[in-house]
Amino acid sequence: QVQLVESGGGLAQAGDSLRLSCAASGRTLSSGAMGWFRQAPGKEREFVAAIRLSSGATHYADSVKGRFTASRDNAKMTVFLQMNSLKPEDTAIYYCAVVINNILLVRSAASYPYWGQGTQVTVSS
C-alpha cells in the first residue's frame, strides 16, 4: 500500500504561480513513476505531467508544456509540480498518483493504482 498526501493548492490569479507537493508513505519509492492528473467540473480526468522516479525523465501534456515542471525528491518520497503562468483553464482538482513498477504508458490514468485525495486549484482572470 501507498498513501499520498497532496498540498499546495489554492487560489491564484492568471499569470501567477503555485507549487503542488505530493508526499508518499507506506513504501519506499525508487522506481516506477508518479503522475499528475486534473479534473475540472463536468470534464473527464486529464493527464498533466509525469516523472519517472529512477531517471527523473518527465512527460507533459501539450496544454502545460513550457509552464509546468515536475520534479522529485526520492529521499523524501515527495514529488512536486511547479505551475507557472497559470491560466483560468488550469482550474481543476489536481491529483497525484503513483505506480511502483516501471511502465510505458505514464500518461494513462489506468496505469496508476494509488491516488492522492486531490487539491483544488482555482485560477481567476
pLDDT tens digits, 94-120? 999 999 988 779 999 999 999 999 999
pLDDT of residue 25: 92
Cell numbers for 24: 508518499
Calculate mean pLDDT across residues 34-59: 95
DSSP label of 82 = E
Residue 104: closest CA among 32, 36, 49, 37: 32
pLDDT surpasses 80 at 28: no
State the pLDDT at residue 47.
98
Tens of pLDDT, residue by residue over 49-101, are 999 999 999 999 999 999 999 999 988 889 999 999 999 999 999 999 999 98
